[in-house]
Structure 1
Amino acid sequence: MDPIVKKLTDFLATIAIPFELRSIECATFLPGLCLEHGKLLIDLDKLKYPGDILHEAGHIAVCEPKERHLLHGDVFKFGTQHGRKPGNMHGEEMAATAWAVAAIQYLQLPLELVFHEAGYRGASNNLIEAFARGDGFGFPLLNAWLMTDEERGYPHMQRWVREVSWA
Structure 2
Amino acid sequence: MKKITEAAHPDLGLRALARELGVSATALYRHFPNKNALLDALALEALNRLGHNQAVAARAAGGGREGFVEVGITYVQWAVENPAMVRLIYDRVGKVDLDSDDPTAMGEAFLQLRKGIVALMPDDMSGERRTIAALHAWSLVHGLAMLILDGQVEYDPDMVRNVVQATDLANC
Q: TM-score, normalised by structure 1?
A: 0.31
Q: Which has the higher strand share?
A: 1
Q: Which has the higher helix share?
A: 2
Greater RCO between the two (CA within 8 Å, min separation 6)?
2
